Amino acid sequence: MRRLSVTITSSVLAAYPMGAGNAADLPMTYLAADGAWNGLVLPLTWGLLILSLAVIVIIALLVLFGAVPRARLIPIQDVPLTDSHATLWIAIGVAVSTLVLLGFVGWNSMTMAKVANPPSEPALDIEVRGHQWWWEFVYLNKDPSQIFITANEIHVPVGKPVRFALKTADVIHSFWVPRLAGKTDTIPGQTNVAWFEADHPGVYRGQCAQYCGMQHAHMILAVYADRPDEFESWRKAQLQAAPEPSSNEARIGEDLFIERCGACHAVRGTTAMGHVGPDLTHLMSRNTIAAGTLPNNPGFLSGWIANPQDLKPGALMPRPDISGSDLASIRSFLLTLR
Ligand code: HEC
Ligand SMILES: [Cu+2]
């Protein structure tokens, strides 16, 4: 169903260029590090992986060895109940595993202590709110005029630690950007704290890592690690309110948007102030919509507004009962939100 409607919308509007790189296409791995947090944890990850593989191989070899019929089989009733030879091997086995496990407990505790806090005072504090099935990001600041909200895509300055206050609007989600840091759950009624630092400029894919309902798999996020000057100009742009629409159609679209969509979506600079769905003030600065599910271009935008349930079944945005011309006006308003 989804593929069908995607094909229809994309072929109808194939003339529009696709947004640059969908985060959903990026690989996810925790076995490579791109920043301080994962850099500190990676040796432990590999250590545990190698140990676990070694245990599997050793146990498998011992089982094989035990299963191979020996020249002289002892009838079961002749096997002594206690055998000092066997007890010795059991003692050796228990001692070796205990020592190895204790070693890992120590290594684990040391690593946890190292990543408990960022190496230096964070350059940025972001409040993350998990929603079924998208991410809301509030860029916190002591100065209220510097606070802004965005969704599903975050920009961070490269080479600087960023701290996250993790909350949820509904159920338990888990904030996970594997190349940068491990998972941290968002738990109702609680604020968890996480941090990471990106070493290289680039895009890192993240994903909700705690099953949270029907569209859990389409709860993707993207972290854009920008050079400090790029980050600063992005931040300045995000702080701006939406511009006054210049075309007539976009102006009509704005009124329709406020009336039809404003209870759930906010566009700063207008009277649309809902917070049920993503803040759309700078919608067109994002590469994807619907939490990394679709590229953000006029085609998918139309398809999404016309019937979100077709593209992301179960999403908490209802199918609006709207005429084609109203939809076109709303779309031309949305396209002004850069
Ligand atoms: C009942 C609340 C509600 C109403 C009404 C509503 N939306 Fe939404 N909208 C949502 C939610 C929730 C999402 C997030 C869906 C997801 O990704 O799972 C969303 C997502 C979107 C997105 C994608 C944003 C992004 O960055 O991913 C756009 C664009 C959008 N809505 C436009 C509209 C328009 C235009 C209207 C009016 C015709 C509208 N919405 C009406 C709740 C609503
Ligand atoms: Cu989730």
Q: What is the DSSP letter of 291?
A: T
Whether 309 has a pLDDT exceeding 60, the answer reads: yes
Give me the pLDDT at residue 24, please.
62
Give me the pLDDT at residue 278, please.
98
Total-model pTM: 0.87
Of 184, 208, 239, the one marking the end of a domain is 239
Q: Which residues, in sequence order, are CB contacts of 203 under 8 Å at separation 6+?
A: 21, 23, 26, 222, 223, 224, 225
CA 219 to CA 217: how far, in whole Å?
Answer: 6
Does residue 220 sit in the same domain as residue 260?
no
**What secondary structure does DSSP assign to 201-263, as a single string?**
SEEEEEE--S--STTGGG-EEEEEEE-HHHHHHHHHHHHSPPPPP-SHHHHHHHHHHHHHHTT
Which ligand places an atom closest to the C-alpha of 316? 1
Q: Which of 158, 139, 162 is nearest to 150 (CA)?
A: 139
Q: Which of 328, 307, 332, 327 is nearest to 260 (CA)?
A: 327
263, part of any domain: yes
Does residue 146 sit in the same domain as residue 210?
yes
Give me the pLDDT at residue 311, please.
95
31, part of any domain: no
Integer-rounded Cα Rg, in Å, for the chain is 27
Q: Which of 178, 185, 244 is nearest to 212 (CA)?
A: 185
The residues pairing with 13 across neighbouring beta strands, listed in sequence order, are none
17, part of any domain: no
Does residue 166 sit in the same domain as residue 266?
no
Sign of CA dihedral 67, 71, 74, 75: positive
Whether 188 has a pLDDT exceeding 90, the answer reads: yes
Whether 106 has a pLDDT exceeding 50, the answer reads: yes
Give me the pLDDT at residue 12, please.
34
Whether 203 has a pLDDT exceeding 90, the answer reads: yes
For 237-288, write each residue's pLDDT tens digit: 999 999 999 999 999 999 999 999 999 999 999 999 999 999 999 999 999 9
- Full residue range of the structural domain in which residue 131 is found: 124-239
Q: How far is the CA of 323 from the centre of ligand 1 (A)?
A: 17
Give me the pLDDT at residue 76, please.
76
Does residue 233 sit in the same domain as residue 128?
yes
Does residue 258 sit in the same domain as residue 159?
no
Whether 3 has a pLDDT exceeding 50, the answer reads: no
Stretch 125-147: mean pLDDT? 97
Question: Pairing between strand 162-168 and 192-196?
Answer: antiparallel
Whether 8 has a pLDDT exceeding 60, the answer reads: no
Does residue 204 sit in the same domain as residue 167?
yes
If pLDDT is split at 50, 70 and 90, which confidence band does 28 have? confident
Whether 318 has a pLDDT exceeding 50, the answer reads: yes
H helix or E strand, kind and range, residue 195: strand 192-196
Place of tokens 């066997």: 86
CATH of the domain at 219: 2.60.40.420
Does residue 130 sit in the same domain as residue 171?
yes
- Pocket (CB within 6 angstroms of ligand 1): 133-134, 151-152, 215, 257, 260-261, 263-265, 276-278, 280, 283, 286, 289-291, 304-305, 312, 315-318, 320, 330
Stretch 177-189: mean pLDDT? 96
CA 318 to CA 328: how far, in whole Å?
Answer: 18
Whether 15 has a pLDDT exceeding 60, the answer reads: no
For 212-235, write each residue's pLDDT tens digit: 999 999 999 999 999 999 999 999
Q: How far is the CA of 290 from the centre of ligand 1 (A)?
A: 8
For ligand 1, atom 36, the nearest C-alpha belongs to 261
Stretch 186-215: mean pLDDT? 96
Average pLDDT, the chain: 90
Stretch 301-329: mean pLDDT? 95
**Cα 101 vs. chain centroid, distance in angstroms?**
32
Which ligand places an atom closest to the C-alpha of 172? 2
**Cα 327 vs. chain centroid, distance in angstroms?**
30
The number of residues making up the chain comes to 338
Give me the pLDDT at residue 22, please.
61
Cis peptide upstream of residue 107 (ω within 30 degrees of 0): no
CA 268 to CA 250: how far, in whole Å?
Answer: 16
Which ligand places an atom closest to the C-alpha of 166? 2
Query: Which residues have a beta carbon within 5 Å of ligand 2, which is an ion?
Result: 173, 208, 212, 219
Does residue 252 sit in the same domain as residue 235?
no
Domain count, the chain: 3
7, part of any domain: no
End-to-end CA distance of the chain: 31
If pLDDT is split at 50, 70 and 90, which confidence band does 9 have? very low
If pLDDT is split at 50, 70 and 90, which confidence band does 23 have? low
Whether 333 has a pLDDT exceeding 70, the answer reads: yes
Q: To test the ligand 1 pocket, which listed residue (149, 238, 254, 261) has its Cβ within 8 A of the most ligand atoms?
A: 261
Does residue 129 sit in the same domain as residue 174?
yes
For 52-62, write each residue's pLDDT tens digit: 999 999 999 98
Give me the pLDDT at residue 115, please.
94
Check residues 233 and 66 and name the one with the higher pLDDT: 233
